[in-house]
C-alpha cells in the first residue's frame, strides 16, 4: 500500500477545499511584507493601531486590491509592537491617547447620577478611548435586554437601595463591561462570572479579573441561581464586602497610560524568560497566513469540521476572538485555526458544533475584539494541538522553526490564494 505523508495528502485534495474568504481569481491580491525589508513600517505606525489600520488600507487602496495576503514562514519585525511576542507574559495594555480622544463614561450613570465632585473624589477612570464607541453600543444593548438574574439584582441595587451605596450597571472599565459596579468602593459584581456576555471560560474570567485588580477593583461573582433563589444571601455578601473595602481616593487621570511595546531598541528574552538585551530573541517567525481586508469580512469553513475549541485571547497583540476547528481527511485528523475574529463569532458557539464545508461561521474583528490589530484573518493549519484549547502559537522563535513548521503546514495548501498575489 502506498504511504504518503500528511502534506501530500492535503495536496491531493487541494482542489476540493472551499474558499475561506469571499474571493474570485479575478480579484486582486496584494502580497504584504512585514519583514525588515519593509522600511515604511516604522515604530510610529506599529505603536498606534489607528495609524497601522490607515497604513494597511492605503496599501490595499493604492494596489486596488481586495485583500492583502502572506506571512507563512516569514521572519517579521511587526511583532515588536507587543510584549506578547517577547518571551515574557502576555499583558493587556492600554493605548496612549491625547486628551481630545478621551471618552468619559458620564452616560453610564443612572437617573440619580453622581455629581462631578463625587466623581472627582472617587477617581473616576475613563474607558479605553479607542474601544469606547463600540463598547458603548454593546453596553446599551445589554441594558435593553438584561438576563432575568441581572434584572432581579439591578432592581435590588438601583437608586441606592442597598445601604445608600450607588451602583451602575453595564459600566465600561478599561476594555470590559462590568455587569454592576460600585465606583466609590471599586467593587465589580458579575452574574454567572461573565463580563460583556462572553462565553463562560474559567481562564478568560481569571485574566479579566486580574486586569480589573490591576485597575484597583475587586470582583465578586454569583450564579444566576444564587441571584434568583438566594437574593437575600447575595445582597448580604455584597454589603459585607462593601463594608470591608476602604474607599480608594486617587486623582482623576488626565492622560491615558502609555502602553509599552517592544521597539527596535527593546530587550529580547532568553528561553527562560530573562532579559538578554538583544533584539530578535523573542518570537518573530509567522506560522500561518494572514488575509488583510475589511472589518466583518465573512469567513467560511474549507471542509466539514467540528468546533474543537474557542477563546477570547484579549491581551494586546494576541489573537483576540479565536476559533479552532477539527477536520478528518482520509482518516487523519488535523485542525485549522482562525484568529483575530469578532466577538460575535464566538457568542453562541459550543465545542463539538458541526460546521459544514462552505458555511459562514465567523468574521474579521475590529481592534477591541481582535487583539488590537487592523482587521484581518490569521489562518493556520495545525496537525497536533498538543493539548492546547482555544489557542496555539501563531508565531515562534527562529530557533524553533523546524519544530513548529513540521506541525504547522503551509496554510495556502488549503487557501489556494497565494498564486494570485502580486
User: Helices 231-244 and 148-157, interaxial angle, to 10°?
Assistant: 50
Determine contact, residues 338/292, Cβ cutoff 8 Å: no
Q: To the nearest whole number, what is the mean pLDDT of the chain?
A: 79
Query: pLDDT digit of tens for each residue in the chain (422 aa)?
Result: 445 688 998 999 999 999 999 999 999 999 999 999 999 999 999 989 999 999 999 999 999 999 999 999 999 999 988 888 875 433 333 333 333 223 333 233 333 333 333 333 333 344 665 566 667 777 887 788 888 899 999 999 998 899 999 999 988 887 788 899 998 888 999 997 444 344 444 556 677 788 788 778 899 999 988 999 999 999 999 999 998 855 443 333 323 333 333 332 333 333 333 233 333 348 999 999 999 999 999 999 999 999 999 999 988 899 999 999 999 999 899 999 999 999 999 988 999 999 999 999 999 999 989 999 999 999 999 999 999 999 999 999 998 999 999 999 999 999 999 999 97
In angstroms, the CA 227 to CA 188 distance is 15
In angstroms, the CA 161 to CA 171 distance is 19
Tell me the C-alpha to C-alpha distance, in Å, between residue 270 and each of 151, 366, 401. 50, 32, 16
Q: Which helix (DSSP H) or strand (DSSP E) does residue 8 occupy? A: helix 6-12
- What was the pLDDT predicted at 200? 43
- What was the pLDDT predicted at 414? 97
Residues 299-311 pLDDT 10s: 999 999 999 999 9
Going edge to edge, which strands form the sheet with 168-173?
168-173, 176-182, 187-191, 218-222
- What was the pLDDT predicted at 129? 54
Determine contact, residues 19/300, Cβ cutoff 8 Å: yes
Q: Which fold has domain 99-244?
A: Endonuclease; Chain A (3.40.960)
Chain centroid offset of residue 120 CA: 31
Phi, psi of 8 (to 5 degrees): -65, -35
Overall CATH class of domain 6-89+262-420: mainly beta
Determine contact, residues 260/43, Cβ cutoff 8 Å: no
Q: Where are the domains of the chain?
A: 6-89+262-420, 99-244
In angstroms, the CA 135 to CA 19 distance is 32
Rg (CA), the chain: 23
Our CA angle for 303, 309, 315, nearest 5°, is 120
DSSP 256: P
Amino acid at each position: 500500500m502506498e504511504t504518503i505523508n500528511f502534506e501530500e495528502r492535503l495536496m491531493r485534495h487541494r482542489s476540493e477545499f472551499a474558499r475561506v474568504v469571499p474571493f474570485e481569481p479575478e480579484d486582486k491580491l496584494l502580497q504584504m511584507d512585514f519583514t525588515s525589508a519593509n522600511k515604511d513600517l516604522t515604530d510610529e505606525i506599529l505603536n498606534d493601531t489607528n495609524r497601522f489600520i490607515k497604513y494597511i488600507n492605503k496599501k490595499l487602496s493604492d494596489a486596488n486590491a481586495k485583500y492583502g495576503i502572506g506571512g507563512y514562514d516569514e521572519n517579521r519585525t511587526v511583532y515588536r509592537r507587543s510584549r506578547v511576542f517577547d518571551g515574557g507574559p502576555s499583558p493587556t495594555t492600554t493605548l496612549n491617547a491625547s486628551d481630545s480622544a478621551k471618552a468619559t463614561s458620564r452616560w453610564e450613570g443612572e437617573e440619580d447620577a453622581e455629581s462631578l465632585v463625587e466623581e472627582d473624589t472617587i477617581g473616576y477612570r475613563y474607558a479605553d478611548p479607542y474601544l469606547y464607541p463600540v463598547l458603548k453600543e454593546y453596553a446599551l444593548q445589554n441594558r435593553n435586554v438584561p438576563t432575568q438574574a441581572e434584572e432581579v439584582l439591578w432592581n435590588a441595587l438601583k437608586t441606592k437601595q442597598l445601604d445608600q451605596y450607588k451602583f451602575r450597571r453595564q459600566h465600561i472599565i478599561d476594555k470590559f463591561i462590568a455587569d454592576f459596579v460600585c465606583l466609590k468602593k471599586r467593587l465589580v459584581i458579575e452574574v454567572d462570572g461573565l463580563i460583556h456576555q462572553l462565553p463562560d471560560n474559567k481562564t478568560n474570567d481569571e485574566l479579566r479579573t486580574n486586569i480589573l485588580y490591576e485597575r484597583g477593583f475587586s470582583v465578586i461573582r454569583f450564579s444566576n441561581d444564587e441571584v434568583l433563589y438566594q437574593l437575600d444571601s447575595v445582597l448580604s455578601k455584597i454589603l459585607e464586602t462593601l463594608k470591608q473595602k476602604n474607599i480608594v481616593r486617587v486623582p482623576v487621570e488626565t492622560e491615558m497610560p502609555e502602553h509599552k511595546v517592544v521597539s527596535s531598541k527593546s530587550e529580547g528574552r532568553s528561553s527562560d524568560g530573562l532579559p538578554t538585551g538583544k533584539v530578535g530573541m523573542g518570537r518573530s517567525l509567522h506560522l500561518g497566513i494572514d488575509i488583510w481586508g475589511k472589518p466583518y469580512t465573512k469567513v467560511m469553513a474549507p471542509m466539514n469540521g467540528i468546533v474543537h475549541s474557542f477563546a477570547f485571547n484579549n491581551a494586546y497583540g494576541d489573537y483576540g476572538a479565536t476559533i479552532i476547528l477539527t477536520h478528518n481527511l482520509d482518516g487523519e485528523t488535523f485542525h485549522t485555526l482562525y484568529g483575530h475574529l469578532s466577538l460575535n463569532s464566538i457568542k453562541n458557539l459550543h465545542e463539538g458544533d458541526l460546521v459544514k464545508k462552505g458555511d459562514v461561521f465567523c468574521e474579521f474583528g475590529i481592534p477591541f475584539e481582535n487583539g488590537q490589530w487592523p482587521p484581518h484573518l490569521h489562518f493556520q493549519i495545525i496537525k497536533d494541538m498538543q493539548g492546547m484549547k482555544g489557542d496555539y502559537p501563531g508565531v515562534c522563535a527562529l530557533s524553533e522553526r523546524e519544530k513548529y513548521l513540521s506541525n504547522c503546514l503551509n496554510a495556502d495548501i488549503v487557501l489556494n490564494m497565494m498564486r494570485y498575489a502580486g
